[in-house]
Amino acid sequence: MRCRFALLPLAAGLAIGGSSLPAHAQEGGGPVPRSPGLPYAPKNLPDRIVLTPGADPAREMAVAFRTDTAQAASQAQLAVSVDGPTLEEKAVLITGKAMPVDSSYGPALYHQVRFTGLAPDTAYAYRVKGAAGWSEWYQFRTAAAEAKPFRFLYLGDVQNGILTYASRVIRQAFHANGDIRLVVHAGDLVAQRDDLDHDDEWGEWNQAGGYNYAIVPQVPAAGNHEYVDVPKRDGSESRKLGPYWPAQFALPSNGAAPVRATTYYTDYQGVRFIVLDGTAAIDLGSMKAQTDWLDATLASSKANWNVVLFHQPVFTCARPNDTKEIKAAWKPVFEKRKVDLVLQGHDHCYSRLTGEAGREASASARADGSVQGPVYLVSVTGSKMYRLNDRAPNQPDKIAEATELYQIVDVEPKRLRFRTYSASGKLYDGFNLDRTAGGNRLTEIDEPTLATRTCAGEVGPDGGRCVATGK
Ligand SMILES: [Fe+2]
């Protein structure tokens, strides 16, 4: 496959930019900025190494990585981990497939290698090959074959200020919370509009997470910004999935038939994670196929917990209206099949919502001992912020504006512990979901949390300017 971005030789980019940000023409518009120093050219050693789970991550994982074109063969070595520096001795060579992607840095190869037939709950190490040699060894653990407590990280839109701002949130999440076993991304990992050259954005995205993305399996949902605009013959615009997504993520092929690149599920130690593609559903005609697949995938789930991940939220915290197509098609399925958590992004604000009737009604239902669910979350990691809408003060249980956040979820057989932290690691929100015979009971945590952060007019919650803009 070839990317449709305009190619510009590296030297030309340097000549244009000098010591300032160079720019080049990109599909769909005028010049866009380049990363200072043009740091993301493919090399003779692998980079952009991202681990992803198989449908059954107790027995299958996959890795995608990038090299220059001198490394034509897609090669990995895999070994059951040992504690001495002898991983090579019992390592096996596994080959995969390479995908060419040409972009502003010139031609590159993205390689994908699948690790199958793995033993559950076992530590493995792997390394991947570039023309100049092997990467370091990366270590991961397969999932247990049965339900077993674990921790995952949920990130909203990384998208803007990916390296400048989102990176500190991602790094704080990993630094402060040990043994994260999975990362779920609610879409818009990058902007792919006019912020920055697309290849530079994917370079920033990989640099922001660094080796964590190579040792912890990543579960990404595609947002509208994973799509690029394409002109139609009649002059109108359509969208298609950008070239980096299928190259960068070796995902399970078990999704809704027309959108296998961006819909899938994975069963991890008692949780079924179901990933949907709101953009393809709303704009590209796959709503019915995805809704049918969602219903069937929930019906067949034997997991203790079902978590659904996608980008455009059912209940919005920034936009004037909820996402009506998704609300009409998917919300009834979530309710019928008793989905536990719905993890979303897109609105660049924070919202935890348990009842459409609003915060007070939800709180009194809890006080009366009613079961609740699903719990709908919207969050944001990167620097773009939207103003809260007029429903936000009363409908969600907790909200935030102009605040970068990450979420840690601890899974147990009968309890989900959900905690939201601010960029600097302060506890912002939290609840426990306890499974009972009748459904889930939600309890607010009794640990102290930060007071609700919103702008007051033009003043932001940190006392400076309000960086949230109206949507
Ligand atoms: Fe976004």
Would you say residue 18 lies in a domain? no
For residues 116 and 178, membership in a common domain is answered with: no
For residues 341 and 320, membership in a common domain is answered with: yes
What integer pLDDT is reported at residue 17 of this predicted model?
30
Q: What's the rounded mean pLDDT across residues 53-69?
A: 98
For residues 390 and 244, membership in a common domain is answered with: yes
For residues 415 and 329, membership in a common domain is answered with: yes
pLDDT, tens only, 138-179: 999 999 999 999 999 999 999 999 999 999 999 999 999 999
| 113 pLDDT above the threshold of 70 | yes
Phi-psi category of residue 161: left, alpha or beta, with phi > 0 → left and psi -120 to 50 → alpha: left
C-alpha 33, offset from chain centre: 24
The dihedral through the CA atoms of 215, 221, 226, 232 has a sign that is positive
How many whole angstroms from 45 Cα to the centroid of ligand 1? Answer: 32
**The whole model's pTM is what?**
0.94
pLDDT, tens only, 77-93: 999 999 999 999 999 99
Share of the chain above pLDDT 90, in %: 91
Categorize the per-residue pLDDT at 23 as very low, low, confident or very high, splitting at 50, 70 and 90. low
How many whole angstroms from 368 Cα to the centroid of ligand 1? Answer: 37
For residues 181 and 276, membership in a common domain is answered with: yes
What integer pLDDT is reported at residue 7 of this predicted model?
33
Q: Do β-strands 439-444 and 341-344 pair in parallel, antiparallel, or remain unpaired?
A: unpaired
How many whole angstroms from 224 Cα to the centroid of ligand 1? Answer: 7
Would you say residue 22 lies in a domain? no
How many whole angstroms from 369 Cα to the centroid of ligand 1? Answer: 36
Would you say residue 10 lies in a domain? no
Domain boundary among 141, 165, 196: 141
For residues 128 and 77, membership in a common domain is answered with: yes
Q: What's the rounded mean pLDDT across residues 133-137?
A: 98
Given a contact cutoff of 8 angstroms between Cβ atoms, the answer to whether 64 and 112 are in contact is yes
| 27 pLDDT above the threshold of 80 | no
pLDDT, tens only, 297-342: 999 999 999 999 999 999 999 999 999 999 999 999 999 999 999 9
For residues 256 and 155, membership in a common domain is answered with: yes
CATH number, position 82: 2.60.40.380
| 1 pLDDT above the threshold of 60 | no
Domain boundary among 95, 122, 141: 141
Residue 469, beta-bridge partner list: 386
Would you say residue 75 lies in a domain? yes
Residue 137: give the domain boundaries: 47-141
For residues 135 and 229, membership in a common domain is answered with: no
How many whole angstroms from 338 Cα to the centroid of ligand 1? Answer: 27
In terms of DSSP H, where are the helices of 314-403?
324-329, 331-336, 359-367
Q: What's the rounded mean pLDDT across residues 67-83?
A: 98
Would you say residue 284 lies in a domain? yes
How many whole angstroms from 194 Cα to the centroid of ligand 1? Answer: 13
Would you say residue 40 lies in a domain? no
How many whole angstroms from 191 Cα to the centroid of ligand 1? Answer: 7
Would you say residue 19 lies in a domain? no
How many whole angstroms from 382 Cα to the centroid of ligand 1? Answer: 9
How many whole angstroms from 233 Cα to the centroid of ligand 1? Answer: 28
What integer pLDDT is reported at residue 2 of this predicted model?
37
| 29 pLDDT above the threshold of 70 | no
Q: What's the rounded mean pLDDT across residues 361-365?
A: 97
How many whole angstroms from 167 Cα to the centroid of ligand 1? Answer: 16
CATH number, position 256: 3.60.21.10
| 378 pLDDT above the threshold of 50 | yes
Would you say residue 160 lies in a domain? yes
Question: Domains in the chain: how many in total?
Answer: 2
Domain boundary among 109, 141, 173: 141
How many whole angstroms from 163 Cα to the centroid of ligand 1? Answer: 16
Question: Looking at per-residue confidence, does 27 or 208 come out higher?
Answer: 208
For residues 283 and 363, membership in a common domain is answered with: yes
For residues 193 and 121, membership in a common domain is answered with: no
For residues 314 and 345, membership in a common domain is answered with: yes
Share of the chain above pLDDT 70, in %: 94
For residues 113 and 248, membership in a common domain is answered with: no
How many whole angstroms from 156 Cα to the centroid of ligand 1? Answer: 8
